[in-house]
Amino acid sequence: MSTGTSRPALDAPVSQLRVALFATCFNDTMWPETPKATVRLLERLGVTVEFPTEQTCCGQMLTNTGYGRDALPLVRRFVDVFGEYDAVVAPSGSCVGSVREQHPGIAEHASDGALAGRVAEVAPKVYELSEFLVDVLGVVDVGAYFPHRVTYHPTCHSLRMLRVGDRPLRLLRAVRGIDLVELPEAQECCGFGGTFAVKNADVSIAMGSDKARHVVETGAEVLVAGDNSCLAHIGGILGRQRSGVRRMHLAEILASTEEDQS
C-alpha cells in the first residue's frame, strides 16, 4: 500500500510536456550536484528539461522569518518565470511546500487579486521530485544503481506539507544494489527549521544530535533526504562528530548508474 496524497497526473504524453527545473536558490548556489542529477535523471526518463535562468528563489526564508511582504516580488517572479510550463520540478520538499502552501497567502495578503489568480494556476503545477516521478511519469524503478547501505530521512515539509508519503522510499527500494535500512524515529524533525537553526540554536542542535545518533545507529554509509537544507544541518553535526556518514540528495542516488559507480 502506498501512502501520501496523490498529485494530479497530466494529460499530454511525457515527451510533449514542457517541463521546467526549479533548481531552488540554495541548491543552485551551494549544492549544484542535486539539480544536475535531477536533469540527468529526468532526461534519462525521456523528459526534456528546461532551466529558465530568470528564476531565483521562492522566498521561503523571508516568509518564515516574518518578512513575507518582502517575498512578494519573488512570488511575482515565480509565476512570471514558470507560468508558461506544463510542470515545474524541484528537488526540494520545503521550497515546493513554500510555493504551494505560502505563495497563495502572500498574494492574498497583498490584496493583489490578479497575482492570486496566477498563483492559483501555477502553484498546483509545481512538483517535488518524487511526486513528479511517481505521479506524473508513473515510474518507481528509475533504472538507478547504488550499491551502498542507505538510510532515508523524510523531511517535515515533504511529509506533512506536501504529503509525499512513501514515494521516496518506493523509489529507493527499486534502486539496484541498494541496502536500504530504516531510520529509527524517522518522522521526527531534524531541527533545522530555517532561521530556527540559529535563533534557537541550542534546541536545534539537541534535535539534530538525536537525529544524527539515529542515523549512526543504522550503520548506514549514506544519509539520503529530499532537502539539502535539512541534510546540511544533520550532515553538519555528523561531520563535526567525524561519523564518516555521507549525505546525499535523493536525486543524486536516483541518478546514479553502474557507470557512475565503476
Partner 1 sequence: MTTTPVRPPVPGPLQETAPTFIGMPKFPKGAREALANTQQRRNLRHATHTIRGKRARVVAEVPHWEDLRLAGAAAKDEALHHLADYLVELEASLTANGATVHWARDAAEANAIVLEIVRAKEVDEVVKVKSMVTQEIELNEALEEAGVNAWETDLAELIVQLGHDRPSHILVPAIHRNRSEIREIFLREMAEVGRPAPDDLTDDPARLAEAARLHLREKFLRARVAVSGANFAIADTGTLVVVESEGNGRMCLTLPETLVSVVGIEKVLPTFEDLGPLLQLLPRSSTGERMNPYTTMWSGVHEGDGPQEVHVILLDNGRSHVLGDRLGRQALRCIRCSACLNVCPVYERTGGHAYGSVYPGPIGAVLNPQLRGTASEIDKSLPFASSLCGACFDACPVRINIPELLVELRAQVAEEGGRTAESAAMRATAWLFSDPRRLTAAQKAATLAGRVLGDRTIRSVPGLGAWTNARDIPTPPKESFRQWWARERGSGTERSPR
Q: Residue 44: phi, psi to the nearest 5?
A: -60, -30
Contacting partner 1 within 64-123 (CB under 8 A): 64-71, 73-74, 77, 102, 105
Rounded distance between C-alpha atoms, residue 181 and residue 72, angstroms: 42
Phi then psi for residue 150, to 5 deg, are -130, 140
Rule CB under 8 A: choose which of 9, 12, 30, 120 binds partner 1. Answer: 30
Which of these ranges, 41-49, 125-133, 139-147, 170-178, lies near partner 1 under the rule CB under 8 A?
41-49
Nearest residue to 75 (alpha-carbon basis) of 10, 16, 137, 123? 123
One residue of 93, 154, 208, 226 binding partner 1 per CB under 8 A? 208
Strand intervals (E) in the chain: 19-21, 49-50, 87-90, 126-128, 149-152, 179-181, 222-225, 246-249
Query: In this complex, which beta carbon is closest to partner 1, that of residue 175 or of residue 234?
Result: 234
Binding partner 1 by CB under 8 A: which of 7, 14, 22, 63? 63
CB atoms within 10 A of CB 18: 13
Residue from 80, 83, 104, 160 binding partner 1 (CB under 8 A): 160
Binders of partner 1 among 6-25, rule CB under 8 A? 23, 25
C-beta closer to partner 1: residue 180 or 212: 212
**Residue holding cell 521550497?**
95
Rounded to whole angstroms, how far apart are CA atoms 164 and 4? Answer: 5
Q: What are phi and psi of 246, to 5 degrees?
A: -90, 155
From 6, 16, 50, 217, residue interacting with partner 1 (rule: CB under 8 A): 50
Q: 171: which 3 cell numbers?
A: 523509489
225-254 positions binding partner 1, by CB under 8 A: 232-233, 235-237, 239-240
Rank residues 57 and 220 by Cβ distance to partner 1 and give the closer one. 57
Min dist. Cβ of residue 129 to partner 1 (A): 15
Q: Which of 17, 44, 45, 52 binds partner 1 (CB under 8 A)?
A: 52
Q: Which member of 197, 251, 253, 255 binds partner 1 (CB under 8 A)?
A: 197
Least Cβ distance, residue 179 to partner 1 (angstroms): 26
Contact 194, 34 (CB under 8 A): no
Cα angle 147, 179, 173; round to 5 = 100
Q: Taking CB under 8 A as the rule, does residue 176 contact partner 1?
A: no
Residue 193: CB minimum distance to partner 1, A:
3
What is the distance between the alpha carbons of residues 97 and 5, in angstroms, rounded to a whole number?
Answer: 13
